[in-house]
Amino acid sequence: MGNIVVFDLDGTLVDSMGDIHVAVNRMLDIERCELISLERLTSFVGNGLPTLIKLVMQEYCLPETEYQRLHDMVLGFYETMPVEQSKCYPGVLAALDELRAQGVRLGLCTNKPHGAAVHLLEALELADHFEVILGGDSLAERKPHAMPLLHCIDALGSGAVLYVGDSEVDAATAVNAKVDFALFTEGYRKSPAKDIPHKVLFADFAELPEIVRCNFEGD
């Protein structure tokens, strides 16, 4: 029996909006729409690419019949573009190394499409840290449904579990899966941290190994 930590990706390990913004704006440019601001697009992230595309389409009154074509265009750009603007939050790599050195088993559960998640994780040399990587399109359900998080945990074995994420969707996922939640406050949440259910919160990844140790000791 070991300890398990599962991470969200966008807004938690990686500040990834810059490249998502480029991919969406390439599509909008082709469709002869005005470009969207980074801030507005960031407010659409969290429930996966299909939802993000639908919200962008609503914003520009684009017909629903165009959904699949526009979705596939953005995904095609995003999965093949070099990762240029996306950056790990400070201290992420050191924290992952330290957790692994403590014998903690690591998984990743994101709403980002699996192929795009792996593309990003490999570019930032993060992929090898995780024994399991689940994307928003990996299973029949996506977060906030408990299914992907529980599936990830099952694949990692048994033990005490902490889920680490940045958003309301992640907090709801943890509640649905009955798993302890650590809220990273510097990502893409929309509400005040105090209004998002969490067991613990942190703003600096240097704090995470100690948080994990204390959380698991308390179990």
Ligand X SMILES: O=C(O)COP(=O)(O)O
Using CB under 6 A, pick the residue from 48, 107, 144, 148 that binds ligand X.
48
Catalytic site includes residue 180: no
Count of positions on this chain that bind ligand X (CB under 6 A):
15
Stretch 140-169: interaction string toward Mg ion, x if CB under 5 A:
--------------------------xx--
Q: Which residues contact residue 98 at a Cβ distance below 8 angstroms, ignoring those fewer than 6 apart?
A: 209
If one asks whether residue 10 binds Mg ion (CB under 5 A), the answer comes out as yes
| Closer residue to ligand X in complex, CB, 25/216 | 25
Query: CB–CB of 166/183 below 8 Å?
Result: yes
| Closer residue to ligand X in complex, CB, 25/167 | 167
47 touches, from ligand X, Mg ion, none (C-beta below 5 to 8 Å by class):
ligand X
Q: Which of residues 112-131 bind Mg ion (CB under 5 A)?
A: none
49-59 helix and 67-80 helix, angle to the nearest 10 degrees: 120
- The catalytic residue among 8, 137, 166, 170 is 8
Tally of residues, the chain? 219
Token digits for 112?
């980002």
Q: How many CB atoms lie within 10 A of CB 99?
A: 21
48 touches, from Mg ion, ligand X, none (C-beta below 5 to 8 Å by class):
ligand X
Using CB under 6 A, pick the residue from 3, 4, 5, 10 that binds ligand X.
10
Report the side by side order of strands in the sheet with 180-184.
132-134, 105-109, 4-7, 161-165, 180-184, 200-202
Peptide bond connecting 144 to the previous residue in cis, omega within 30 degrees of 0? yes
If one asks whether residue 9 binds ligand X (CB under 6 A), the answer comes out as yes
If one asks whether residue 111 binds ligand X (CB under 6 A), the answer comes out as yes
- Least separation, in Å, of the C-beta of 166 and ligand X? 7
Query: CB–CB of 160/219 below 8 Å?
Result: yes
- Least separation, in Å, of the C-beta of 142 and ligand X? 8
Residues that bind Mg ion (CB under 5 A): 8, 10-11, 166-167
Residues that bind ligand X (CB under 6 A): 8-11, 45-49, 52, 110-112, 136, 167
- Residues taking part in catalysis: 8
